[in-house]
């Protein structure tokens, strides 16, 4: 008797939280667990809904799964070959930079940039590479991975780099040609879980502190405590000018 074919399940692809945590498609799998670690390539138009980023491809890996959803983890982005080819024309110089950087939250990124200028001496190209490397050193080390990727997607960040390079030599084009996440998926999932736990812990601690300060203000009416000192503490916690909102009359 022939074996019955196993019915495949379809899992909805859910983007990371910093990219909206939204559904962007489906993938088939023999069972949900089999989808873990699978590489998924999506157009930036599907991910961002921005047609101006038509030249970008996002690379993800499937992390956690359940019976219906496959949750994606950012694994990189890349410009299409056609887009890069249109930058490189006759009588221009192409300056490439490939560097490995570690973000504030411990994610290792391999960043590949391309800068297009008129024909320039080798020394100018060396200065351009050095300047880009300095900017990336500062920005990557000060940013968590998701915040840095959002910066890369921002035209303002690219324009600021072009402005800095103009001081060395006029630049025609600058682009992040490719970014790869070199941190293993398991480690990336652990980092994201720790960030979520820390975020929830910060919210809980802040709520507890506010409650205790209100309780102290209430008791101060009966215990003659320094109400002004308590209000100042509460202002710092809430970041609101309570004294200007009528609290001074308490």
Residue 250 has pLDDT above 50, yes or no: no
Which residue in this structure is represented by tokens 């690219």? 158
**Can you give the pTM of this predicted structure?**
0.77
Total of domains in the chain:
3
> For 140-211, where are the E strands, in sequence order?
173-181
Q: Which residues form the domain of 230?
A: 201-249
Q: Which residues pair with 118 in a beta bridge?
A: 92
Whether 247 has a pLDDT exceeding 60, the answer reads no
Give the pLDDT confidence of 82-104 residue by residue, as tens digits: 999 999 888 899 999 999 999 99
pLDDT of 109-138, one tens digit each?
Answer: 999 999 999 999 999 999 999 999 999 999
* 8 Å CB contact between 16 and 58: no
Shared domain check, 148 and 117: yes
**Is residue 213 assigned to a domain?**
yes
Same domain, 85 and 73: no
pLDDT digits (tens, 9 = 90+) for 169-182: 999 999 999 999 99
Q: Is residue 108 part of a domain?
A: yes
pLDDT band of residue 242 (cuts 50, 70, 90) is very low
Q: Which of 46, 77, 108 is the last residue of a domain?
A: 77
Chain-wide mean pLDDT for the chain? 85
150 versus 3: which is more confidently predicted?
150
d(CA 22, CA 107): 23
Residue 195 lies in a domain: no
């Amino acid at each position: 008797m022939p074996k019955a074919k196993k019915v495949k399940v379809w899992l909805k692809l859910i983007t990371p939280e910093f990219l909206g945590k939204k559904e962007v498609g489906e993938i088939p799998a023999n069972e949900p667990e089999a989808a873990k670690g699978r590489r998924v390539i999506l157009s930036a138009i599907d991910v961002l809904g921005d047609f101006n980023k038509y030249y970008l491809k996002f690379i993800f890996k499937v992390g956690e799964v359940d019976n219906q959803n496959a949750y994606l983890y950012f694994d990189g982005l890349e410009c299409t070959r056609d887009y890069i080819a249109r930058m490189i024309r006759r009588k221009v110089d192409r300056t490439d930079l490939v560097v490995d950087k570690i973000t504030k939250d411990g994610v290792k990124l391999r960043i590949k940039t391309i800068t297009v200028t008129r024909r320039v001496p080798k020394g100018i190209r060396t200065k351009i590479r050095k300047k880009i490397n300095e900017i990336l050193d500062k920005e990557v080390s000060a940013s968590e991975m998701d915040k840095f990727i959002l910066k890369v997607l921002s035209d303002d960040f690219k324009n600021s780099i072009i402005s800095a390079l103009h001081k060395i030599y006029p630049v025609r084009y600058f682009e992040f040609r490719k970014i790869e996440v070199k941190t293993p998926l398991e480690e990336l999932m652990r980092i994201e879980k720790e960030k979520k736990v820390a975020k929830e812990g910060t919210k809980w601690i802040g709520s507890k502190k506010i409650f205790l300060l209100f309780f102290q203000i209430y008791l101060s009416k009966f215990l003659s405590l320094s109400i002004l000192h308590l209000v100042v503490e509460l202002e710092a916690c809430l970041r609101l000018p309570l004294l200007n909102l009528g609290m001074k009359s308490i």
